[in-house]
Chains A and B, each alone.
Chain A
């Protein structure tokens, strides 16, 4: 069962750029080997942490959006926990939320159509009303 997950992790700030790229490439390799796929990878850059983590005050944020099984996510979490430069991570399941948002958007789209229809039909009755009036005038005349 493939699901959409978002994995965000913080890498220690004193890491070199090449090492960071290597780390991310390694993780991506793990995901693809485990039967998952990467939807997007984003380096959010260096950010100040809201509180001190492992005596660091800032960190490199990386965001991965993936399609994977629950077991694969567990495996990735284990790897993140083991890997030394990663100081914090969070994985969030996104598919339910996406489904919910899509549903809301669909409902909103139908409502818009309903509001658009009366506007389209409203001018229409005016013309038939005017036409019979003209007809009655012609009949009376």
Chain B
């Protein structure tokens, strides 16, 4: 009995050790992946908290007509920039995506930019 309880406890104690390096793995990854991504923080572990532009500036309606605004959320090749890079909240990202798609339809934004 004592051996049985001790054997599960042994892996459980070793597990945090195993998770230790793995947690440092993702921790070490962002600095490597960030520099390529737009809007990333500065050096190593410092990362600025991203906030939703629409919530902060209190932009209620995301209209397909204001190309200037939409263009900030479109990548060079015309792709919609994901939320994880821009920090836009879910609700506004949905409206934003709709507006961008409408703008594409009326030739205000490109479907795919020319290379």
Contact = CB atoms under 8 A, between A and B. Distances in A.
Q: On chain A, which size bracket covers the interface?
A: 10 to 19
B62 to A, nearest CB: 9
Given A90-B102, A92-B102, A49 B107 contact: yes
A95 to B, nearest CB: 12
A60 to B, nearest CB: 12
Contacts of B104: 50
A51 B64 CA distance: 16
Most chain A beta carbons < 10 A, residue from B60, B64, B102: B60
Interface string B47-91: 000000000001011001100000000000000000000000000
B108 A50 contact: yes
What is the predominant secondary structure among interface residues of chain B facing chain A?
A: loop
Given A51-B110, A51-B111, A97 B102 contact: no
A90 B111 contact: no
Contacts of B23: none
Contact of A10 (B65, B102, B107, B109): B107
A88 B102 CA distance: 12
A101 interface: yes
Nearest to A108: B58
Contacts of B111: 50-51
Contacts of B107: 10, 49-51, 53, 59, 88
Most chain A beta carbons < 10 A, residue from B104, B105, B107, B109: B107
A49 B105 CA distance: 11
A107 to B, nearest CB: 11
A90 B64 CA distance: 11
A79 interface: no
Interface of B: 58, 60-61, 64-65, 102, 104-111
Given A10-B106, A53-B107, A101-B60, 14 more contacts: A8-B106, A47-B108, A49-B107, A50-B107, A50-B108, A50-B109, A50-B110, A50-B111, A51-B111, A88-B106, A88-B107, A100-B60, A101-B61, A108-B58
15 contacts: A50-B109, A50-B110, A51-B107, A51-B110, A51-B111, A53-B107, A59-B107, A88-B106, A88-B107, A89-B106, A90-B102, A92-B64, A97-B61, A105-B60, A108-B58
